[in-house]
Copies of this chain bind each other. A is one copy, B any other.
Amino acid sequence: MADIDRAKLVKYRQDGARQVMERLNLDLLVLTTFDNVRYVADIRPFFVTGWMPNAIAVLAKSGDPFVLYPDEYVAPSPYWADEGAALKDKYGWSHYTIFNPALVSDMYAEWLDWAFQKLGITRGRVGLDSAPWQWFVAFKQRLPNVELVDAQTELLKQRAVKSAEEITVLREAALASGEAVMRGLAVAKEGARDLDILGAAMGDAFRHNSEGDAFFPFLTCGPVRGGALYPENREIEKGDPVILDLGPIIDGYMGDCMRVEYVGKPTNEFEDLYRAVYDCMYAGIKAARPGVKASSLDEAVRGVIRERGYPVHRFDSGHGVGLSCCELPIILRADAYKQPGKLDLTLEPGMVFTLEPRLYKQISDDKFIQASLEEIILITEGGCEVLTNNAPFLDDLIDVQPTKYP
């Protein structure tokens, strides 16, 4: 864990959640997702792919959050005595379920009802984040006097601006992601397997304190076809571009970094593509400062791609990182959404997000070469800072302050 003032970190996040409650005029906030529960309750819930959520945090206008999560005691404790009586009294449930939560939504509703009674709450406006729809239906049936309000957008808006403590942890996650990618790409030699790259990179991420993957890592080697993203146990050949993109998780905060390696001497075509990616990144970084719209950064990146005659990528140019990977601000392609204004945030100091230009050149009917980079950017008072530090930027292209890995 990073060396931070933990109480300060938690207070900042709980104050943030209470600001959301105020803006939405809520009596209570019910949080169920892995990241939101962690945001207010500072616990690390079990994480099982496709089996979320498994914990509920209830936040009232004052006081500590009330957490429905018996597996704080998944390992035994005096709470286990007498068939878990103390566990039941404190957490409302003496048993830890491993059911997919959509299958026992009635039990979660009953559990929430128990919590509301314990808190003395019978009615009011209750904010709910992105729960499964079965929970929503069960909650409504079980708690008819409660009005459920969508709190997810406001929560993510609130979470977009990070505190000094959060930035310290995110800096570690960003550096760990750059380091892990570098360790992986060091294996990218003629005759190696692409899976060896992934093994080296992910092993390093775990040795650097990673809790898991922010996303299932992307790795492509050699010329790519549409859809190519993942390794296929391919033997690496001379002349292969290798692109690796992964995200370790440090103390809940997610890193995300993408780098490219070329096996052998790069072709002129590839060099040109790589230089263009640099220039895209630089254009984005140059545009990144308080007061500008997120979509301006996307346009800065996209403009360089167009100008150089490469096909523009069909997604946005970056995304916020924090307790989830892909949160606000999205560096969005403004014309791709019906109501871009709603989510096209104005950048503020403390916002942390990626820029990830991806460039491609068609080399035959269905084959492409690609070059991509991804940096994590922090908006500062004066402009921005790059939190990842291993990018082989050319000196004359970059005037931001890169950080050093401890």
Contact = CB atoms under 8 A, between A and B. Distances in A.
Nearest to A319: B98
24 contacts: A49-B212, A50-B52, A71-B227, A73-B314, A76-B226, A76-B362, A77-B225, A77-B227, A77-B366, A81-B311, A96-B314, A97-B315, A97-B316, A98-B316, A99-B326, A100-B130, A103-B153, A131-B133, A133-B135, A134-B152, A136-B137, A206-B217, A212-B213, A212-B216
A214 interface: yes
B75 A228 contact: yes
A360 B129 CA distance: 36
A391 interface: no
A371 to B, nearest CB: 12
Contacts of A254: 49
B97 A336 contact: yes
Given A33-B50, A228-B75, A315-B96, A211 B216 contact: yes
A350 to B, nearest CB: 19
A75 B130 contact: no
A203 B200 CA distance: 6
A204 interface: yes
Nearest to A152: B102
A393 B217 CA distance: 35
A100 B329 CA distance: 11
Nearest to A46: B215
Interface residues of A, number: 111
B330 A98 contact: yes
B74 A315 contact: yes
Nearest to A256: B48
A130 B102 contact: yes
Contact of A196 (B33, B50, B133, B207): B207
Interface of A: 33-35, 44, 46-52, 70-81, 84, 87, 94-104, 106-107, 110, 128-137, 150, 152-153, 156, 193, 195-196, 198-209, 211-217, 220, 224-230, 233, 249, 254, 311, 313-316, 319, 323-328, 330, 332-333, 336-338, 343, 360, 362, 365-366, 368, 370
Contact of A198 (B34, B77, B206): B206
Contacts of A226: 72-73, 75-77, 79
A73 to B, nearest CB: 5
A80 to B, nearest CB: 5
Looking at A107, A211, A338, A365, the one whose CB has the most chain B CB atoms below 10 A away is A211
Output the residue of A71, A94, A227 with the most chain B CB within 10 A: A227
B133 A230 contact: no
Given A51-B325, A102-B152, A200-B203, A217 B228 contact: no
A217 B206 CA distance: 10
B133 A225 contact: no
